[in-house]
Structure formats: C-alpha cells, structure tokens
Amino acid sequence: MTEPTLRRVTPDAIARLVRQPVDPAALAVAQAIVERVRSGGIEAAIAEGTRLGDLAAGGKVHYSPADCRDALEGLPRVQQDLLTRTAHRIRSFAEAQRAALGNVTLPVPGGSAGHEAVAVESAGCYAPGGRFPLPSSVLMTAITARAAGVTTVWVASPRPSPVTLAAAAVAGADGLIALGGAQAIALLAFGGGPVPACDVITGPGNAFVTAAKFLVSAHVGIDMLAGPSELVVVADSSADPTVVAMDLLAQAEHDPDAVPVLVSFDAEMANRVERAVATALQNLPTAATAGAALANGYSVVVGSPDEAAAVCNMLAPEHLQLSLARPETLRPLLHHYGALFLGTGACEVLGDYGIGPNHVLPTGGAARHSGGLSVFDFLRIRTWLQIDDVAAADDVLADAEALADLEGLAAHAGAARCRRR
C-alpha cells in the first residue's frame, strides 16, 4: 500500500504553522541586492542577474515591443489563439472591475466636493520564470494595468521563453527586461537604462521577490506580498480523493516552498487523499519540486464546519478551495483568503489560467489585510473641493476656525476666519 505523504496535524497546531509574509533570511539577501541596484542602476541589475543565473554573460537583457511581436508571430497559431482567448477573459474581468469604480461629486455647503479615480502613469509587472515560464502571470499583471488606464507598462521575467515574450505582446507591454529576483524588482522601482522608475510594482514571485517588494514599498506602490503558492482544500466525503490530490499537487509543483494543505471532516477521507497524492506523485514529471513542497504541507481532520472555518481563517491562505457537496454552508464562516473556489468544479487551476479573476494573490497570511491583484492596485483616488459661495460656507468655516483654535493652530484659524463674511 502506498504510504501517505502529507503529515497529519491537529487543529490546535495550526497557529504555529502560519507562515510570515516575508522570510527574514530572504530579506537580508534582498536588501543587499536592492541597495546595489538602487545605486548602480541597470549595470548593477545585469551584474546581479548574471551572478545569479538569470543571464548568460553578454546575453540579451531588453526586449522591445517589436521583439515581443516577433515572438508572438513565431508561435503556432493554436498557441497564439490560446493567449488571445485567455487575454480576453482577463481583460473582460478587469474592465468590469474598473467600471465598478467611478468618479464622485457631492454637494457641500457653498460648493461641491468629490473624488476621481485616476491610474498611475507607469507600472512594473513581474512574472516568475525560474523553473517554468509563466506567461499567464504576464497576462494577469500587464493586461490588468492596461485596463486600469496605465500608460507605461513594463514586464520583468528571467530567462523569458518565446511564449512569455508573446504574452507581453498580447498584453501590450512597452518592453520586457530579462531579469528576475530582487534585482528585477529594484530595477522596476528605481529605473535604469530603458526601464522607467515605476509608480507601482505588481506580480508574484519567490521569497526574494517578495522581500524586495517589501523593501521598495517605501518608494513605490506594491500590490501585495505574494510569495510561494498556498492552497487549502476543504473536502468532505463527496469529494473524489484523486481529484483533490491533483489539486494539491498542482500547487505543490509551483515551487519547493509551496504549501499544500488538506482540511477534511473525517480521517478516512484524509487517508484516501494522502494515498492518492503519493500514488500520483510517482508518475508526475514535476515530482521533484512537488515532493519538496509536500514536506511543507499537511492535513488536518476537523470535527465541524466551525472548526474547519477556524483553521482556514487562521491560515488566511492564498487559495481556498471548497470541495464540498454544499460549499455555500461553509462560505459565510470564512473571512480571510486571497481567492475562494466554490464546489468541485471550481478548481483552482481555472483561476491560475485566466477564467477571469486574477491569480496574483496574497500569501503568508497577508490575505487578512490584502486582496488579489485588480485594477484598483493601479488607481489613485484623488479628492477635490470647490467653493463658489463663501457665504453659504460660513457655518463650516466657523467650525474649521473653532477646531483650529481647539488644536492651537492659529494660522489655520486665521485662514478660515479671513474668508468669513
């Protein structure tokens, strides 16, 4: 009999297993790289990329829009069409999000006030490319930026494959820089060579990318801390153990640091899923990566929906999949997750590969305060005030004067008083 590959833990152990969004060891490494690139520009970024294996010595660093279009045209038609269809789904969802946030105008005494939602001018979009090319991340980030109205969009991805370059063309990127890791994030943040200093940096990555985004967040906007992948599957006896096993392995094969977790309502179901994971792993081409990630994962047997929800809420996972006969019964109890997948048909892989919602999601418990990437990450809310009738504003000017006196700010009080009639 195949032995289970997920360790079994109890619900009361979950608090000790919650990961930190930023790994301290990665932070120390990333800090040195970020500072070198900040002071040395693109030459320093290239040197780091060469040292860390992103680039061969003298290798091509900058890919223009024409380079990306050539890559797209060089793909088989079936792959071109695949990228185009996926881009359309992502763009449709992002445009619907953008339409949900409009400008506001509100009457106030003597005039009006409001806000306008305005896109940032430039965005840097990171797409991992270490073990596997991830053109889907290029589409998810760059298309969303364009849907928000960003005028300048750059992509960074190490060792870009033709399909990654093609995705940049489909997304309408202004260029791609063939660098990864902390050096790519620093270059997008501070600029260098053809790459502008971007206003916002988005995209998933490994622990060093996440650490670098944390470090540059004092200078630029970031979407979230999106590190190694996480998936929690909550399964009851109606779920197919083989299907659940493949869902867990789909996340495990992303990265040796990924975290696959099973939450089950009975021990026998957990045993069946764990054995199915072990069986599937034997013939999986990505078994080396997935097997390493399984060591980070675990299974939890819970006694009630409340206990299942408590486990999930404590983990605040990137992906939360409810492989349940009636997922709607558990949903109201769940408060913290990056993306929720309801029912056995709503597999997480559909989220990864562009059914609509974005796959760039918070990890390490950051879902307690952050959501997934959306057009809102590329927008600024700018407020405005116009007073046309100062006499009609006398009451609020009087209140402003009184509050300024209360705080001891004499010039504030004077600025309000001198406008009163």
Token reading at 59: 């290798």
Burial of 314: CB neighbours in 10 Å, binned 0-12, 13-18, 19+: middle
Token reading at 236: 């009851």
Q: Is 95 a catalytic residue?
A: no
Distances in Å between the Cα of 248 and the Cα atoms of 130, 162, 299, 408 are 21, 29, 11, 60
Angle value at C-alpha 92, between 250 and 118, nearest 5 degrees: 110
Q: Is 274 a catalytic residue?
A: no
* Distance, C-alpha 283 to centroid of its chain: 31
Give the separation between CA 383 and CA 16, rounded to whole angstroms: 43
Catalytic choice (48, 230, 254, 319): 319
**Of 400, 232, 395, 392, nearest in space to 323 by CA:** 232
Catalytic choice (230, 253, 274, 318): 318
Burial of 383: CB neighbours in 10 Å, binned 0-12, 13-18, 19+: exposed
CB of 247 within 8 A of CB of 219?
no
Give the separation between CA 184 and CA 205, rounded to whole angstroms: 11
Point out the residues that are catalytic.
318-319
